[in-house]
Amino acid sequence: MMTEMTYLEAYKQFWTEAFNLHDRARRKAFWVPFAVHAVFYLTFSILILIFYQTSYNHVYQTLNFLYNVTLSVPTFSVIYRRLQDMNMTGWLALILPVLYFIIDLPEEYVNETMQLIVWFLYLICGIILLVILTFDGTEGPNRFSYDPKESIDELNPRNY
């Protein structure tokens, strides 16, 4: 039997399962928080630009850093579980952070041409990952866990 997840449940699950790398995540569990955070980030950026302009750039950078640090673990977790839902290893979610780390290295470690190539790879991998995350997960149980769309009887849980 299929269970329906509300938008609020999906957003709540984003935060409550931030350290869970063992189960699977539905599409809604990724896309609802993604949309909410994208709208919030754009609104926040526009308000900072309007009210603080460039003279308070340190305020924007500090708030942006805190925002990104706060979202990094839950976002990685939900992408990890989303990939497992499609019967793929969740460790593919590490490709983008590793590429971003290489891009962010100083020029004394990575020259400008290499940074440009890695930035292009980062862009391509990001687009491919977003497309992959739009696909529906594996129906029924897979090697990672039960189907998150199925309702589970709490008195007789399945062991996968």
In a domain, 75, yes or no: yes
Which pLDDT value is given to residue 80? Answer: 94
Where does the pLDDT of residue 159 fall: very low under 50, low under 70, confident under 90, or very high at 90 and above?
low
Residue with tokens 């020029």: 107
> What would the DSSP string read from start to end of 111-144?
-HHHHHHHHHHHHHHHHHHHHHTTS---SS--SS
Q: Which domain holds residue 86?
A: 7-132
Which pLDDT value is given to residue 56? Answer: 64
Residue range 12-23: average pLDDT?
A: 91
In a domain, 12, yes or no: yes
Q: pLDDT digits over 84-99, tens only?
A: 999 899 899 999 999 8
The answer to whether residues 21 and 81 touch, using CB atoms and an 8 Å cutoff, is yes
Whole-number Å distance between alpha carbons of 98 and 121: 11
Residue range 55-82: average pLDDT?
A: 86
Q: Which distant-in-sequence residues (6+ apart) come within 8 Å of 80 by Cβ? A: 21, 90, 91, 93
Total number of domains constituting the chain: 1
Residue range 130-158: average pLDDT?
A: 76
